[in-house]
Amino acid sequence: MKWIFGLVVGLLVFLISSLGSSLLLPPGLFITVVTGGVGSFLFLVLLGYRKNLLKNVGLSMIGLVVAFLVGFGIGEASSLLPIGDIMPNVIFFVTAATVYGTFMGLILHGKKELGFFILISLIAGVVLTAIVFLAGLMEGQFWNGIDLNYIVIMSTLGTVAGVAIGLYQDKRELKQSSV
């Protein structure tokens, strides 16, 4: 059941890193890079991926920025369609989560597993996005100058990556135990 551990680790480290970054830095792209660096470092260490740690943290930071940009690009493009006010945000969320979860999977386990990580990240992204929007967590709220939406987004991306990596570890262990 490593997927549960991955879920908890992804949620907590990206929650803590995004909250800490938000307290110390002004909003912008730089805060995303810092959150990605701190969150990825803790994520990889706690999940046991210490080999090539600095390289993987750097790639993860790039992946996080790419996920944000692709998510915003597709989300904003979808706002041109007559699909309502909330759907572009949902599309951003699902796209960014899928891209980041897949990117992390590719960094750690290679392109052979591309299909697995796309599928798992997409499913986890849809489920978590539904929870976020149904619970009303994306209401444009600020607390002492901290953008709570940013914290929810970063926590969701970390959670999706954690679920995907954890499920892959479970799959690999199941495959090895059946041999």
Structure tokens at 42: 């803790």
**Alpha-carbon gap, residue 88 to 92, rounded angstroms:** 6
Tokens found for residue 39? 């969150």
Residues 10 and 160 sit within 8 Å (Cβ to Cβ): yes
- Can you give the pLDDT at residue 66? 94
pLDDT (tens place) for every residue of the chain, 179 residues total: 899 999 999 999 999 999 999 888 887 778 888 999 999 999 999 999 999 999 999 999 999 999 999 999 999 998 888 887 788 889 999 999 999 999 999 999 999 999 999 999 999 999 998 888 887 766 666 676 777 888 889 999 999 999 999 999 999 999 888 76
Q: What is the C-alpha separation between 90 and 22, in angstroms, rounded?
A: 23
Q: How far is CA 62 from CA 9, 46, 146, 164, 175, in A?
A: 20, 20, 23, 18, 31
The whole-number pLDDT of residue 142 equals 66
pLDDT of residue 140: 65
User: What's the pLDDT score for residue 163?
Assistant: 97
DSSP track, 75-95: HHHHTTSSS-SSHHHHHHHHH
| Per-residue confidence (pLDDT) for residue 84, from 0 to 100 | 76
